[in-house]
Amino acid sequence: MTDLHVVVPAGIHDPSRPSGGNTYDRRLVAGLNDLGWHVHEHEVVGAWPYPDSAALAGVGALLADVPPGALVLVDGLVACCADAVLGPEGDRLRLVVLVHMPLGPADPAAAAGERRVLSAASAVVTPSRWTRDLLLDTYALDPRVVHVARPGVDARPVAPGTAHGGELLCVAAVTSHKGHTDLADALTLVADLPWRCVCAGSLALDAARVADVRDRLTGAGLAERVSFPGPLTGVALDQAYAAADLLVLPSLAETYGMVVTEALARGIPVLATSVGGLPEALGSAVDRSDGDGSDVGLPGLLVPPGRPDRLAAALRSWLGHDDLRARLRQRALERRRTLTPWSRTAAEVSGVLERVWGV
């Protein structure tokens, strides 16, 4: 049994802070343990990815206690802003970085440090081809050390759906990059149609954004048709998916979009923005070919980010056309059969770790 040290941000097990990155980290640690790795999980306190000196010192002290030559997997939320700490350890430890969301492309001030960390790593793991391509284009990394391990998804019962298709679900924290203001504006444009929308996600991360979204809905007379239950997990989240006809995800940035495959695992079509890794999560033509390479069709609709008018037009099409809803539901069921479990994600990362350990 090989020792593996995994460094993650503190709070990944907090049910009040659900996120794709936290879920990925938790499921990966469990899967690597199942595969025989002796995983030492280390949660590090800090305002990642913008830590203060005390948080960086904590990471430094942690790594100093790790034996020379040890294999260390570091969540990119910590690693990519801690080059001053990780740099000196690059020659002593076998470092692997798991990049959920690169910092540099959106924050030029962080790019130099992120480049140094990723260039010094023995391997880099990303959740999507889109993220891998972005890192290669941004930092000119060696393609041989940058790998893809897509998030898995658990098998779920098929959601029954309704005849009218008007039960909408958005699963995302209310923050600037998740596009809730665009969703509010789009819903205003289809206020004449019958629908209800549940926005499940944290309301504690951006109070100004939450207030803005609520004000827009109240001004349009839609406050009673859109609910904000906060973050949902476990049975409550399962029930929200089971009641949904359509997942709506109007994100402005997304490296994969695990809620997309969570919806598809239940046969629920998706309306999302064509940004980042979302088209990949929805399913590429190659992933969904019928065996002879022909495209079986997207299990949902893609619209440009930041365009509430286009989002509203797609919602109007979904709500107004029975044949479109039936076709997308069938495609979602077809996509459901192609989804892979978390055990495959763990196996792919394990393969990367084994190659690094064998260096």
- Note whether 126 and 199 are same-domain residues: no
- Note whether 35 and 105 are same-domain residues: yes
Mean pLDDT in residue range 248-266: 97
- Note whether 10 and 108 are same-domain residues: yes
- Note whether 68 and 175 are same-domain residues: no
Confidence of residue 292 (pLDDT cuts 50, 70, 90): very low
Residue 111 inside a domain? The answer is yes
CATH number of the domain bearing residue 80: 3.40.50.2000
- Note whether 238 and 123 are same-domain residues: no
- Note whether 141 and 176 are same-domain residues: no
- Note whether 350 and 323 are same-domain residues: no
The amino acid at 206: D
Residue 161 inside a domain? The answer is no
Q: Provide the token pair at 117.
A: 């960390």
User: What is the domain extent for residue 215?
Assistant: 167-336
Residue 218 inside a domain? The answer is yes
* pLDDT, greater one: 90 or 204: 204
Residue 287: CB atoms within 10 Å: 13
Residue 265 inside a domain? The answer is yes
- Note whether 239 and 203 are same-domain residues: yes
- Note whether 324 and 349 are same-domain residues: no
- When divided into structural domains, the chain yields a total of 2
- Note whether 177 and 312 are same-domain residues: yes
* Cα end-to-end span (Å), the chain: 17
- Note whether 10 and 134 are same-domain residues: yes
Please tell me whether the overall predicted TM-score, pTM, comes out greater than 0.75 for this model. Answer: yes
CB-based contact 247:237 (threshold 8 Å): no
Residue 162 inside a domain? The answer is no
Per-residue model confidence (pLDDT) at position 359: 54
Strand blocks (E) in 71-195: 71-75, 94-98, 123-126, 146-148, 167-171
Confidence of residue 296 (pLDDT cuts 50, 70, 90): low
Distance separating alpha carbons of residues 335 and 3, to the nearest angstrom = 37
Confidence of residue 289 (pLDDT cuts 50, 70, 90): very low
- Note whether 60 and 138 are same-domain residues: yes
Residue 185 inside a domain? The answer is yes
Peptide bond into 49 cis (omega under 30): yes
